[in-house]
Structure 1
Amino acid sequence: MVLGRTFQEELKQKKISAEEAAKLVKSGDWLEYSHFVMVPKALDAALARRKDELRNVVVRGVCMQATPQVALVEPKFEHFIYCSGFYSSYERKIGDRCQSFVTNYSRNPLDFRRGNATPLRLAFIATTPMDKHGYFNFGTSCSHTQAVCDIADIVVVETNSTAPVCLGGEQNGLPISKVDYVVEGDNEPIPVFPQDIPATDVEKKIAELIVAQIEDRSCIQLGIGGLANYVGKVLAQSDLKDLGMHSEMMCDAFIDLYESGKLTGKYKEFGKYKMTYTFAMGSRRLYDFLHYNQECATFPVDVTNDPRRIGLNDKVVSINNALMVDLYAQVASEMIDFRHISGPGGQLDFVLGAYYSKGGKSFLCLPSTRVLEDGRQISRIVPFIPQGMTITDSRTVVDYVVTEYGLAHMAGKTNWQRAENLIQIAHPNFQDELIQAAQKQGIWTKTNKIG
């Protein structure tokens, strides 16, 4: 606050319209939107309307839960180039109009602050309205928002009164002294992430296999989707007690655990008694639960996803999805046929964090097969990761791989042991050809038991 000026006076001076904010953008600029459900919709729409006045403007986002208008109006990358660090369903639907910037999620703050990423001229950030202390809270997306604001030349916030105030932690908001302009948004309800996605029979089987491996006092990390939700439900109905939560994403499944009395955080070392996370996506129930909730603590992603911090907690259980795994235990979770499905996110961080944790376990989960557009069924366990896919998790760090047919333990195993363990959890229709492939690759010996 400027000496002699109240927060409200400073706010009044800094208020502008979305159209005025969009006029701050120049051709050739790089700018960043806030992430996940904290979508700066008014600013995005106003910028999209300036398409014909601008060229080569690069806009970055992460897993946006609304279709970026700057991508919709630009089919040829002449005016706007939209990039995402982790594809949402909205970003996948716009296909080639969305480009990927590849980074491990937890490295974003360091990459920005160390100058590894292209400098940002503007940040368009959705926040809660200013509080009586002159602060704008980042809502459900602590993420690397502070780092974005630290390096941007101009910071514009778009307020939304429907976003919850999410307590930290650290770096979960900005004082008005560090905000250049304020746009009052339309207060359209922040997007909800569907929670009514039923778990498939395959996901239910995978969840049951994993839950059988979880002990009292375990510290849980869950990913996105039907599997995560079902794991939460099974845990909530189990006899387990004194579980903790340290997760990249806060989702509705953790509310179920909390309300069942299973989630206490009593035995955590980092964030004791707290539900620790860096972003939240879920139902309105989740957002209402988070609002000013002292039981929860949001941190920037380089804190929550730091494997060294994750590993401070005992019995970390990390549960994430994968797309494909080969017989060497290389795991691909991002691409199919050169097409981005998601991104690296924090999967590797939690695989490593669980390894550093005393009694920790990480589970990479996938159905044993997938069906192609022509109706053919193929195995997700393959001899070797094919062209058109990238490796998310190195074979040297993978712990457990899980399909509906069982768990395959990879840690400490030889190549031929890995091949055998993985073939045992492959779909029976593909086991013979996988054995033949393993023989050709020299990773099948006479001591192998199957085949």
Structure 2
Amino acid sequence: MNYTEEYKRKLVTPEEAVKVVKSGDWVDYGSFTGSVVVLDKALATRRDELWDVKIRSCTRFTGIPEAAIVDPTREHFIYNGWQLSGYERKLSDQGLCSYIPIVYYEVPEYYRNYIDVDVAFIPVTPMDKHGFFNFGPQVSHTMAICEKAKKIVLEVNPNIPRCFGQEEAIHISKVDYIVEADYPIAEIPAAKPNDIDKKVASIIMEQLEDGCCLQLGIGGMPNAVGEMIANSDLKDLGIHTEMFVDSMVDMVEKGRVTGARKNIDRYKMVATFAGGTKKTYDFIDENPMCAFLPVNYTNNPNVIGQLDNFVSINNCIDVDLFGQINSESSGIRQISGTGGSICFALGAFQSRGGKGFICMTSTFSKGDKIFSRIRPTLEPGSAVTIHRGMAPSIVTEYGIANLKGKALWQRAEALISIAHPDFREELIKRAQEMGIWRKSNKR
């Protein structure tokens, strides 16, 4: 087959490509740094022709979607997100983005068994000599989207890094239309850790050992851990993570990560998507050390549990004295999403020698007021991201509270011991009122 000729036959303008969308359709936009830009803009221009078009995306890093903001009534375009980026959070605050609750590793099967896709808009690398377009660093559930889609339109962008793995590419024979684009890949600089983040990171560092396999979440605190690991004398570490980030590049370049002691996927750094700066995108491009795999593998607790000495490090927003962990909302305001924290908490528990950590600063501020992240109960409407029975160890700058196997009064005691000292007496009082404090508890 002459793939070049087939490419030419399927190549159209963005304006022509979006004509495949009909009123009432479900349209997928891709995920993370692989969320369409030119096709979104072209679809937005059809607002007055279309009604009730439902759009899905996941953690869009490529700017505010035009189709969402051109229709504030949501009569024409209804935007939905599996996990909210900062752009989508702004839309959600305006009532222009609806959150879809998930358990992340299940998402490919949501597509295959439960939901419809009329049109898939997917960013890809240029076609290779075999007729394949690579999805780049957002494998996640992309193949499942394409399998379910009635029509597939590719947005070809030469700036997307080509990533090795599984379910990472689609053949031109499966594609209906192709459009060409040329925009930079969105860079996601890691949040700069503050002194408290570094203190929490130093506590985590004491729990690490040679040969352990790491998962790091997003944010200043996991980034602080990554920086400390890169500058440590740890050796033969492994990576099996959801998101590949800049600090992992540093860990490899400084000799900390080899993957030599991994039980499965030896010598490979496994992830399902990447979000970082140009340093990360250059590193993962055609790098055989990196394996980008679908999320029903990377985040599957049964897979994670096969890795000995697996260490999961994630953030949260707040925790209550019962051990309920909220990582995604402030009351009813959706901030992000469930993400992979529950997947890795469960997987770390199944791992021989595994450890799961949910990290946070003990306090946060609003204006000139300081609040405790350890609360008597979660704020009404807040999501319980991790059930209290599944809760791993909680870490603040005051230490580690291991909640596994502990009664409610023991949990309250452990959590209050790592709360900020200024809030401990009030937390004890509230614990007493709720009947989860014993007089014999340590003060």
Q: Judge same fold: TM > 0.5, yes or no.
A: yes
1:339 aligns with 2:337: no
Deviation at 1:243, TM superposition (A): 0.5
Alignment partner, residue 430 of structure 1: 423
Residue 31 of structure 2 aligns to a residue in which SS? coil
Distance in structure 2 (CA, Å) of the matches to 1:154 and 1:217: 45
Deviation at 1:372, TM superposition (A): 2.5
Deviation at 1:90, TM superposition (A): 1.2
Residues 301-330 of structure 1: CA deviation (Å, up to 9, x unaligned): 101000000111111110111011011111
TM-score normalised by L of structure 1:
0.96
Alignment partner, residue 215 of structure 2: 221
Alignment equivalent of 1:194, drawn from 189, 196, 201: 189
Distance in structure 2 (CA, Å) of the matches to 1:413 and 1:306: 26
Q: What is the letter of the counterpart of residue 392 of structure 2?
A: D
Distance in structure 2 (CA, Å) of the matches to 1:106 and 1:77: 29
Alignment partner, residue 133 of structure 1: 130
- Give the root-mean-square deviation of aligned CA atoms: 1.0
Deviation at 1:179, TM superposition (A): 1.0
Deviation at 1:98, TM superposition (A): 1.3
Deviation at 1:386, TM superposition (A): 2.4
Deviation at 1:164, TM superposition (A): 0.4
- 5 Å-filtered alignment, 1:18-417, equals 18-65=14-61, 66-94=63-91, 95=93, 96-114=95-113, 116-117=114-115, 119-168=116-165, 170-185=166-181, 187-195=182-190, 197-373=191-367, 375-417=368-410
Distance in structure 1 (CA, Å) of the matches to 2:184 and 2:264: 33
Deviation at 1:270, TM superposition (A): 2.1
Deviation at 1:84, TM superposition (A): 0.8
Alignment equivalent of 1:446, drawn from 434, 439, 442: 439
Gaps of 5+ in 1: none
Deviation at 1:71, TM superposition (A): 1.1
Distance in structure 1 (CA, Å) of the matches to 2:385 and 2:379: 13
Alignment equivalent of 1:16, drawn from 12, 16, 23: 12
Residue 34 of structure 1 aligns to a residue in which SS? strand
Query: Any runs of at least 4 consecutive aligned residues in structure 1 with deviations exceeding 3 A, and if so which?
Result: none
Deviation at 1:267, TM superposition (A): 1.0
**Residues 219, 315 of structure 2: 8 Å contact kept:** no
Larger deviation, residues 47-56 vs 122-131: 47-56
Q: How many residues end up aligned between the 2 structures?
A: 440
**Residues 217, 267 of structure 1: 8 Å contact kept:** yes
Residues 376-429 of structure 1: CA deviation (Å, up to 9, x unaligned): 222111111221201000111112101111111111222111110100111111
Q: What is the letter of the counterpart of residue 395 of structure 1?
A: R
Q: What is the letter of the counterpart of residue 231 of structure 1?
A: V
Distance in structure 1 (CA, Å) of the matches to 2:223 and 2:379: 31
**Residues 228, 253 of structure 1: 8 Å contact kept:** no
Distance in structure 2 (CA, Å) of the matches to 1:262 and 1:290: 17
Residue 121 of structure 1 aligns to a residue in which SS? strand
Residue 113 of structure 1 aligns to a residue in which SS? helix
TM-score normalised by L of structure 2:
0.98
Residues 321-366 of structure 1: CA deviation (Å, up to 9, x unaligned): 1011011111011110211110001110000000000011111111
Q: What is the letter of the counterpart of residue 34 of structure 2?
A: M
Residue 276 of structure 1 aligns to a residue in which SS? strand
Deviation at 1:18, TM superposition (A): 0.5
**Residues 363, 399 of structure 1: 8 Å contact kept:** yes
Distance in structure 2 (CA, Å) of the matches to 1:126 and 1:317: 33
Q: What is the letter of the counterpart of residue 265 of structure 1?
A: G
Q: What is the letter of the counterpart of residue 107 of structure 1?
A: E
**Residues 370, 377 of structure 1: 8 Å contact kept:** yes
